[in-house]
Amino acid sequence: MIRTIVTVPGPVLRQKAKAVRQITPEIQTLIDDMIETMRAAPGVGLAAPQVGVGMQVIVVEYAVGSRNADADVEAKPKPPKLYALVNPEITRHSVETELGNEGCLSLPDYMGEIERYSTATVKGLDRHGKSFKLKTRGWLARIFQHEIDHLNGVLFIDRTENVWKVEPEEAQEASETV
């Protein structure tokens, strides 16, 4: 089921999400609904608070390398990978950071330039309760950092002073909103 995405100033967006104690059928349904909602938006990530649920659950779907401007245009596109994580956290990250433009489904029509870690190791539980650990880099690392920020009540606008309204020529970049 596609859920309504909470937009600013929705109070749930500023609250710290609660850890999930047990992966119940309700959590499984939440994950399924979040995936459907993220895809319909369209976006590349979604956190439970963005659909009004103050629990530590995120979904991310992204094809690694799809934002690489140097990629061979003749190369077959890689299919996107779907991640659903419960109680995710960043356990390690690089010292190096990168500036990049981000949008957010909870702040439609706005983007900002955000400094994020270049690499990040994310751990948590998968949707079946099994331990999950992933070393991420580049745009995928950025997406995970953005979504985990949501679980802590942090929005991308809190990390920058450079925010702008999306112009029509930025529509493609905005379509990869996290």
Residues with catalytic annotation? 147
| Contact by Cβ (8 Å): 41, 5 | yes
Q: What is the DSSP string of 123-140?
A: EEE-TTS-EEEEEEEHHH
**Helix, strand, or coil here: 87?**
strand
Q: How far is CA 70 from CA 37, 42, 65, 143, in A?
A: 31, 25, 9, 20
Q: What is the rounded (10 degree) CA torsion for 152, 158, 163, 169?
A: -10
How is the beta sheet containing 110-117 ordered, strand by strand? 97-103, 110-117, 163-165
Are 102 and 139 in contact by the 8 Å Cβ rule? The answer is: no
